[in-house]
Amino acid sequence: MKLLYPLIILIFTNFLGANRLYSINLSFPWNDELNQVTIRKDFQLSDNFYLCSSIGLIMNPFNLGFKYKNNYNKNGFVFYSGIGYTPLLIKWGPGVFYHFSPSYQWKATEYLYFNLGLTYSLYYDFPEANIMEGFSGILPFYQLSIKF
């Protein structure tokens, strides 16, 4: 639980900036972090690399990862790799998801973007101390992002 506080602080740091490094992601059935609704903040590390923190609904309420975009806020390929903390699932206890998600992003308007891609996930269950195969694998995703 103590690890969640720094992540929450990181997510909400400088939340008032208007540089389109913030986004609300709506997905069906899930996005690159296995959530249906996500609020994400990207911290630019270099021209193409970003540290991403987010909070979401469904599988991973807290996420932290790295993203590579060849054209930020334009059409182009996106590669995301990160971890998400899951406090409790229906059948299993708390655990961590690892995600790797290649996708392609289309810019629809100045603030509206679409992503289509695949996500590879591994779920590590803390009480069982092993990788749960029922939640691991490759899944397609479609994501609508509203950036601000």
Instruction: Express each pLDDT in 10-25 by its tens digit.
Output: 555 544 444 578 999 9
Mean pLDDT computed over 75-101: 86
User: Quick one: pLDDT at residue 7?
Assistant: 52
What's residue 83's pLDDT?
Answer: 94
Q: What is the mean pLDDT of the chain?
A: 83
Amino acid in position 107: K
62 backbone φψ class: left, alpha, beta (φ>0; ψ -120 to 50): beta
Look at residue 4 and tell me whether its pLDDT is greater than 60. no
Question: Cα–Cα–Cα angle for 46, 102, 51, nearest 5°?
Answer: 30
